[in-house]
Chain A
Amino acid sequence: MSSAATTAPVLPPAAQAPGVIHTRRPSTLTAWRWELRKLVSQKRTYLGLGLAAILPLIFVLAQSLRNHRGHDQGNIFASHITQSGLATPVLMLLFLSVFMLPLIAALVAGDIVAAEDGNGTLKTILTRSVDRGQVFAAKTLAAMTYATIAVFLSATVATVAGVASWGFNNVVTFSGTVVSAPEGLLLVFAANACYLIPLLTVAAIGVLLSTTTRNSAAAVVGTVGLTILLFIVAQIPGIEGIKPYLLTEQYENWHGLLRTPTDWAPIWHSAWVCALYMGPALAAAYLVFLRRDVAGG
């Protein structure tokens, strides 16, 4: 700072005019955009996206090598995969939807509030002109945006790699019906969109834990742990009645799209079941965030 004695005002005259208000409330969209900018600037962001992109590549590469060496002669599963590149994203969604994509969603959702609390930057942004509710909305939307990008990145990489390896051919649905390649492509992305319903619910739970625990690791592990717990609960004999209402059971909602005729029932079912998880989770997180003491940093 300049130590030179000077009579010049530090700030231009307009700044000193009494009563002049130089700040105004920004839009939540602005806050959301900056949340994304923060994510883009952090290395950990690319860990999840990297996993989402690289796993389909590894799968396609491994499958291509097996085919090349003739290991899969007579393997029905492999022959389905190699009939059309569009089968790859479907298979990847089947694999990744159970654990990897919820983990990727939890990595950011569990961190998004707790990390700022721990670093003390929450107090920095909460003493500007943005309301707490806006900050919460922006963070929640950013966590969900990240989960969405991870899903479609994975689907895109799987589709491109699959088509590059095995062609843009007609594909067989779960009902055994053959659909054209363009329709198959549409179904692939529609299936991923349906899967977002339970995945964004996982992200909402991650945001709740991030807000309440104030600890990134606890929130990420807690979110993933909860999904594992629900899988275990689903295996308990005698509780078949509650099984359709477990969050993890909704991970397969998109299967209905790949049947002929399209079975919308599991999608609608997952929509309202997930709403029952997401609504209270976000409401609780919002209320905690609004009234919490920001004492960190």
Chain B
Amino acid sequence: MLGTRATEDTARGEEAPPVKARGLLKRYKEVLAVDHIDLNVHVGDVYGFLGPNGAGKTTTLRMALGLIVPTEGTVELFGRDPMREGARALQGVAGFVEAPRFYAYLSARTNLELLAALDGGGAKEHIDEVLDVVELAPRAAHRVGGYSHGMRQRLGIAAALLRRPRLLILDEPATGLDPAGMRDMRTLIRRLADDGITVLLSSHQLPEVQELCDRVAIVDSGRVVYEGALADLRRQGGAGYRLRSTDDTRALEVLRAQSGIEHAASGEHGLSFQAQEQDVGALSLALARTNIGILALTPELATLEDLFFRLTEGDGAQGNGNAESIAGTATATGAGDRASGAQTQDANRKAVEIG
């Protein structure tokens, strides 16, 4: 009977996405901490969950782990709702929100033994292994009360790995780490992802997210302002190009005359402009028709940092228009079950383009 149930669980787990949130809302009296958030984390994603402080990231992650009861909406992990199914919904899921916490009066090893026991006891034999992974084995017998912040972060990872997760939820794992610690954390996350573990990573380290993540959700004031592939966001949001040609002066005239080409300018390293991908194709034909040879045409994508600030703050040049685009995106992504992931992504792209 137990075997049958496990098989059913496994089958169900393979079909359902690691995280699927729909219309997630959390209200604390007058404060709306999370406002109709939809998330779609797919199997194998390294999914960045970004937003300024107070944007609702941690509250969302707490709801995902069943620690906080949503005011509205649902979240499912591999098809299971932690609110309905309790600890059963966390099968195959591990991680921490905010700083990982342990019993300061117990050693690291005893803390892990306790957590292994609460996972059914089977994980106990892997304690040495996970301590080795985070390089805490030599200090395993020491009380956690004497640990540095970085050591506790690493112990948090070890505690998560003890569950052999298929989904790892990490909230600011690199916070408080020194540069070498951050690099090691990135390496570890990359390796875990390469091993097939889906990672939901909340972080303020935007270069880290840009390096690690393939999909992102950006939240601001409790709402998702973008969700989708990071590459799409950068392509659609930045869409800058650099051109070197056989005749830059004439090429600049062509650029300015060509529809869909914006912000064309001449610079030290050739010409620069912004355009959508399909317009770049038309441009190359137009240049050919005027007998201008292309020496180099290279896309220059906006950094995640640029896009993050554009989506969450707006910049001076784009000001109100950007704010409107954020509102438009949030509406599109906040539509809960009414909007499919693809529709949401399209709406987001549009919003970024407008922005």
Contacts and interface: CB of A to CB of B under 8 A. Distances in A.
A214 B192 CA distance: 37
Interface string A1-20: 11101100111101110111
A127 B67 contact: yes
B184 A24 contact: no
A242 to B, nearest CB: 38
A294 B184 contact: no
Contacts of A26: 117-121
Contacts of B14: 18-19
Given A1-B154, A11-B129, A128 B87 contact: yes
Contacts of B43: 18
B87 A25 contact: yes
B103 A1 contact: no
A128 B135 contact: no
A44 B6 CA distance: 42
Contact of B159 (A11, A14, A42, A124): A124
A3 B101 contact: no
A129 B91 contact: yes
B15 to A, nearest CB: 10
B164 A22 contact: yes
Which of A3, A9, A125: most chain B Cβ within 10 A? A3
A284 interface: no
A119 interface: yes
Interface string B119-137: 1111100100110011100
A3 B161 contact: no
A66 interface: no
Interface string B76-93: 000000000011101111
A1 B188 contact: yes
Given A22-B123, A126-B66, A37 B114 contact: yes
Contact of A19 (B13, B96, B100, B110): B13
Contact of A129 (B65, B95, B106, B118): B118
B101 A119 contact: yes
A19 B154 CA distance: 26
B149 interface: no
Contact of A24 (B13, B122, B185, B192): B122
Contacts of B10: 19-21
Contact of A131 (B87, B101, B119, B180): B87
B65 A12 contact: no
A12 B115 contact: no
Contact of B183 (A3, A11, A124): A3
Most buried by B among A10, A131, A291: A10
B195 interface: yes
Interface in B29-74: 43, 62, 65-69
Contacts of A31: 117-118
A9 B129 contact: no
B67 A10 contact: no
B191 A34 contact: no
B124 to A, nearest CB: 11
Interface in A113-172: 119-121, 123-133
B271 interface: no
Interface in A30-59: 30-31, 33-34, 37-38, 41-43
A23 interface: yes
Interface residues of B, number: 68
B334 to A, nearest CB: 22
B122 A16 contact: no
A240 interface: no
A148 B120 CA distance: 28
B102 interface: yes
Given A1-B185, A127-B96, A19 B11 contact: yes
A186 interface: no
A31 B119 CA distance: 10
A11 B118 contact: no
A33 B66 CA distance: 24
Interface string B155-173: 0010101011010000000
Given A11-B164, A15-B164, A41-B105, A2 B119 contact: no
A209 to B, nearest CB: 22
Contacts of A120: 98-99, 101
B118 A21 contact: no
A127 B94 contact: yes
Contacts of A297: 98-99, 101
Given A123-B97, A297-B101, A2 B135 contact: yes
A121 to B, nearest CB: 5
Contact of B67 (A128, A129, A130, A293): A293
A2 B130 CA distance: 12
Given A120-B98, A121-B103, A297-B101, A131 B195 contact: no
A279 B159 CA distance: 36
B205 interface: no
Given A20-B10, A120-B98, A42 B105 contact: yes
Nearest to A35: B114
B259 interface: no
A39 B15 CA distance: 43
A30 B87 contact: no
A295 interface: yes
B197 interface: yes
B9 interface: yes
A10 B188 CA distance: 8
Nearest to B92: A21
6 contacts: A1-B184, A5-B187, A10-B161, A127-B67, A127-B93, A295-B68
Given A23-B164, A126-B66, 16 more contacts: A2-B135, A3-B184, A14-B164, A16-B195, A18-B13, A21-B13, A23-B120, A25-B88, A30-B121, A41-B110, A123-B65, A124-B100, A127-B67, A129-B87, A131-B88, A294-B68
Rank and list the top 6 A-B pairs by shortest CB-CB distance, nearest first: A120-B101, A22-B164, A24-B120, A19-B10, A1-B184, A128-B118
